A and B are shown apart, each in its own frame.
Chain A
């Protein structure tokens, strides 16, 4: 099941793919007319003059996307306000050490993610199986990421950075969020 962000990405992607396919189909269909007039019915110079404007259009679209999203980059999303509880998550081949293992609904939790050996990543999945958090665990460093829990239940932590032959078994099955 997708998260709301995942659904948003999928929707935006499909809209642009559909637009692109319509344009591509139009271009290919135009070769029918080209066959009739032996490809002579096109003003090539006009098409060349229009190319920079197509470039400008693409730049404007990308600038809008940049303006809308860059402030939501993970490293900008964290604030310095005090959190209700700190949870230390340490990755090691092939398991997670989690302390404490239980928090309450409504608590603003800061996860301090670290690694004892190689790169790992903490993928946090809610009881519905949606991935709600994704944090890299870099050896020698701590990465902090906070989350406000609104739903009780048993959450799962999976390793999302390839870490060796038991990578797929690196699961912490029951991080508890109580009502």
Chain B
């Protein structure tokens, strides 16, 4: 096994290489910014992880918590783990990957807005949930925020909605920064017009190379998911922001209210695409890292470009699958939306299926370099497949009578968010931190323990939840019916293993941070590993 040092791009094998690096100053500023996001999002993971553990310990009747406090923790955990950790980390790492493929940040204003609005938003969410008792869940389904049964005030609802709006501002700033970075001179369009740049950034150069030319030869594949995600999240965040503004106005007591079905649609118009705020940057990072370890260019043709164009359009027309079970009498529009959005949701399988094919073909019979980073990435890719299959099941309206609002759904999104994107995040940390910090990982063997403890612990835990869900265990219950207690206790054993694995990781990281920087990352002896 080799060390976690990221292998260099093989000369001539990739359409881009490190010779396209920007000025040293931009590189240094980007490094500092990305590291700041990594440390901040990791701190959010620690908080969100502890909160998640408390939730399950209460369900297992190991500890006692007040009912509303349990639901407040649930609210903070959901937003913290999904947006403040995974989403925020991937937003930050985006700029490092883009720079590595020759698309340096052209301005640091938008990234700074992204950073600070997310931090302030998270602080507001923590205060309104854990201290002020807001416990509407991370989707705070309207009109619940205004029916607290005496547990929190409308003012708290307004502050909470404003805090979430700040996180939304962070996402909008991120989208703008990505578009500003990708639709740029770095595309090296032969005819450098805005139209040509836009077409190239969204893959038309791969589809029609004679019409949309670039002197780069071939545009880097990671640019595609980043650009698609930026457009989709920009469009998806706006209706959600509108809902939040409505709720802030209502919280001031002006007698304002919204139709419940409309509010549900506005919520999920953002609530589903936000999954891709994580998945698409994750796909881009796989596109960048896997070819490095495989020692060859990503195996992809025009089909991948078509798939990302499908993602660009369909991603905005899938929200109603979250509302399959909302089919009130006489509401034919809602029922029609459900009918239409089952096939549009299925269409979103294509970017994943074709990406998995490309990645598998890239690894196939390659001289693949196995180390902790690449193993985390491969485990994340396998989880992408597994969670994707669950996604197809969830997209099928006929199955919702059995699955809707059960622990199956909770198991599924932890499978997707933690075991796909989460493993990618750890893989990216093992791959990128040596060059970001200027020092190697202290102990490779501890990285392997982290890997296997995380995989076994997390899969054991989510599998228990999925079985419970198939048996009808309701989601978002502080105290589950007795019939589900045994599997909850089993899952706690797996969670203990998962926590232990993260402590190993934290120890390895802490020790690494205390070591001196190295000068030559390619010639470092790493404890527990072999020489690079």
**Which of A's residues lie within 8 Å of B, judged by CB?**
1-3, 5-6, 9-10, 12-13, 16-17, 20-21, 23-24, 27-28, 30-31, 33-35, 37-39, 41-42, 44, 47-49, 51-52, 54-55, 58-59, 62, 65-66, 69-70, 72-75, 93-94, 117-119, 121, 123, 125, 129-131, 133-136, 138-144, 158-168
B325 touches A136 (CB 8 A): yes
B144 touches A160 (CB 8 A): no
- Min CB gap B199→A, angstroms: 21
Question: How far, in whole Å, are A91 and B501 apart by their CA atoms in the complex?
Answer: 43
Please name the residue on chain B nearest to A129 by beta carbon.
Answer: B483
- The 8 Å CB contact of B471, one of A2, A54, A167, is A2
What 1/0 mask marks residues of chain B from 469 to 489 whose CB sits below 8 Å from any chain A CB? 011101111111101000000
Question: How far, in whole Å, are A75 and B390 apart by their CA atoms in the complex?
Answer: 22
Question: How far, in whole Å, are A9 and B261 apart by their CA atoms in the complex?
Answer: 29
Q: B481: which A residues are within 8 A, CB to CB?
A: 129, 158
B301 touches A48 (CB 8 A): yes
Task: From B38-46, B103-111, B153-161, B391-399, give the one contacting chain A.
Answer: B391-399
- Min CB gap B184→A, angstroms: 27
Please name the residue on chain B nearest to A16 by beta carbon.
Answer: B389
Q: B476: which A residues are within 8 A, CB to CB?
A: 162, 167
Closest 7 CB pairs of A and B: A131-B472, A141-B328, A72-B398, A73-B397, A165-B68, A39-B367, A48-B301
Question: How far, in whole Å, are A12 and B403 apart by their CA atoms in the complex?
Answer: 15
A55 touches B366 (CB 8 A): no
B346 at the interface (CB under 8 A from A): yes
B349 touches A6 (CB 8 A): no
A138 touches B261 (CB 8 A): yes
A17-B386, A51-B304, A59-B350 given. 9 additional CB < 8 A pairs? A6-B402, A34-B367, A39-B296, A42-B365, A47-B299, A51-B301, A70-B343, A144-B329, A160-B406
Q: B393: which A residues are within 8 A, CB to CB?
A: 9, 12-13
B261 touches A65 (CB 8 A): no
Q: A141: which B residues are within 8 A, CB to CB?
A: 260-261, 328-329, 331
- Min CB gap B300→A, angstroms: 7
- The 8 Å CB contact of A1, one of B300, B303, B471, is B471
- The 8 Å CB contact of A143, one of B329, B364, B401, B480, is B329
- Min CB gap A81→B, angstroms: 15
29 contacts between A and B (CB under 8 A): A3-B472, A5-B401, A5-B402, A20-B385, A24-B381, A24-B382, A27-B364, A31-B368, A34-B364, A34-B368, A35-B367, A39-B367, A42-B365, A44-B296, A48-B301, A54-B303, A66-B343, A70-B398, A121-B325, A123-B405, A130-B472, A134-B401, A138-B326, A139-B260, A143-B326, A143-B327, A162-B71, A162-B137, A164-B151
B186 at the interface (CB under 8 A from A): no
Q: B475: which A residues are within 8 A, CB to CB?
A: 160, 162
Please name the residue on chain B nearest to A57 by beta carbon.
Answer: B353
Question: How far, in whole Å, are A66 and B349 apart by their CA atoms in the complex?
Answer: 13
B141 at the interface (CB under 8 A from A): yes
B399 touches A166 (CB 8 A): no
Known: A54-B357, A118-B144, A162-B137. A70 touches B397 (CB 8 A): yes
Task: From B117-125, B334-342, B425-433, give the one contacting chain A.
Answer: B334-342
How many chain-B residues does the 8 Å CB contact rule pick out?
87
B363 touches A27 (CB 8 A): yes
- The 8 Å CB contact of A69, one of B71, B307, B396, B405, is B396
Please name the residue on chain B nearest to A10 by beta carbon.
Answer: B470
B303 touches A52 (CB 8 A): yes
A166 touches B396 (CB 8 A): no
Q: B382: which A residues are within 8 A, CB to CB?
A: 20-21, 24
Question: How far, in whole Å, are A136 and B141 apart by their CA atoms in the complex?
Answer: 13
B260 touches A9 (CB 8 A): no
B365 touches A37 (CB 8 A): yes
Question: How far, in whole Å, are A89 and B385 apart by their CA atoms in the complex?
Answer: 40
Q: A162: which B residues are within 8 A, CB to CB?
A: 71, 137, 141, 144, 475-476
- The 8 Å CB contact of A62, one of B392, B474, B483, is B392
- Min CB gap A159→B, angstroms: 8
A6 touches B470 (CB 8 A): yes
